[in-house]
Each structure stands twice: as C-alpha cells, then as structure tokens.
Amino acid sequence: MITGATSGIGLGCARKFAQGGYDLIITGRKPDLLSQVGKELSELGAEVKMLCFDVRNRAECAAAIESLDERWANVDVLINNAGLALGLDKEYEGSFDDWDIMIDTNIKGLLNITKMIVPQMVKRDCGHVINIGSVAGDAAYANGNVYCATKAAVKALSDGLRIDVAESAVRVTNIKPGLVETNFSVTRFHGDKDKADNVYKGIKPLTGDDIGDVAFYAASAPAHVQIAEVLVLATHQASGSVIVRK
C-alpha cells in the first residue's frame, strides 16, 4: 500500500514494487491520475487496487481502508509517502494555512494510515512500514522551519513505532531523501515553475525511481534484517544545506 502514489517518490515506489512482483494498493486525491497510474502499473504485471481519498481526512481514510475485502485487507508493506512542503518563508512570516496543510498531511496523515494498517501486521506477526522522511528531518535549513519540523516528526514517529513493534516481526524503515526532482518544489512554490526549476540547477538530483529502488531494497532484505534508516543524497549534496552546483 503506497500513499500519494500518483507522482514523484510514490509513483517511483509503485513502479519498482510492480516490477518486483507485488500487487499494489495505491492511494491519491485525484481519480483521473489514480486511474492513469493504475493502468501503467497493471501493464507492468501488478494487480492494482485504487483508493481515492485524502490522508488528512480521518473519516475518508477509515472508509477507504474498511472497503478493502479479504483479498486486500492484509497489507504486507505500507509506504507512508503522502507529504508536501509549502512555502519557503522565515518562520515568523509563514502562512498559517501552509503550516496546517503540512502538519495535517506529513504528520497526522501518516499517523492516520499507520493506526489503521499496523494493528493487522502486529496480529499476523508480519509486515513492513516504510516512512518517507527527509534529510530536512535531521537539521533545519534556512526558511525550511515547519517542513523540517514535520520531517523530524517522521523520524521520531518511525523510531517510536520501531520500538513499539519490536516484540513482533514487523519492520520499520525511515528513508530520508535529499534533493529529488519531482513536483515537490512546484508545490512548495505554489505552482511557480521557474522558482522550482532553480532548486535543481547545477546539480543532478535524485529521481522518484531512485527512492523506489531504496524502498524495494529495504523490503527485500531477509526477514531478520531491518533497514532502520537510510539517508539518500545526490552526489554533490552533502547535507540539507550544503549543495555544490556546477
């Protein structure tokens, strides 16, 4: 099950797992995009279940997950990918609306899905939760304040869940990407493509498929091996704030 599977890292993960022989539950907010992605994944050989809902809406989450029949109800791998950044302002000049959307999606949305999927993993003594965090969760960077805080929360929630399920065979992985060229920056700059393109100038960034490779590697490790945390950066990126452009 991959949340936010219609673009970027979510789509990269969906493609990799489809190619790897998994059947997929993909979620997103846009039915047309879900249908398009579902068709692509089916052509890769996966059986696909599409769920259209917003992870911020707990009632929608519950209704979607409760709609899964016996064929789909037992999720083996959950990829909590749905997330976004909005704005690049100083903390004292930020937008309340942007903050609410980031917190509700990146933290509460992840918690909503985790709460509704992980109990059956623990009951079956089998499963894997892969959370998509960020290098931004390790240390704040200029004007990243609230987004960085949400990704720091993803790290803490991943670590906490790993402790909570340690008596079971459920595994928890936090993948922390650096610069990944997706719609991420277009969203952050509220649709300003020129500003978004400048983020990746002078450096070859990661792609959603690169992160899909990492997620698949973690899920494919032997059952006694838990890839707890992976930091993945572009070659000329040293940290969240150190990027060498050529």
> What is the CB neighbour count within 10 angstroms for residue 202?
10
List CB contacts of 76: < 8 A, sequence separation 6 or more.
22, 126, 127, 128
Sign of CA dihedral 139, 142, 147, 150: positive
Cα 45 from Cα 42, distance rounded (Å): 5
Tokens of residue 78, six digits: 């959950």
Q: Beta partners for 50? A: 26
Question: Can you list the alpha helix ranges (DSSP code H) found in the chain?
Answer: 8-19, 31-43, 58-66, 70-73, 96-102, 110-124, 145-164, 184-188, 193-199, 208-220
- Catalytic residue check, 92: no
* Active-site residue identified among 92, 147, 200, 217: 147
List CB contacts of 134: < 8 A, sequence separation 6 or more.
147, 148, 151, 154, 176, 177, 178, 240
Cα 180 from Cα 192, distance rounded (Å): 17
Tokens of residue 210, six digits: 């690169």
Cα 158 from Cα 174, distance rounded (Å): 6
Mutual orientation of helices 208-220 and 8-19 as an angle, nearest 10°?
50
Tell me the catalytic residues.
147
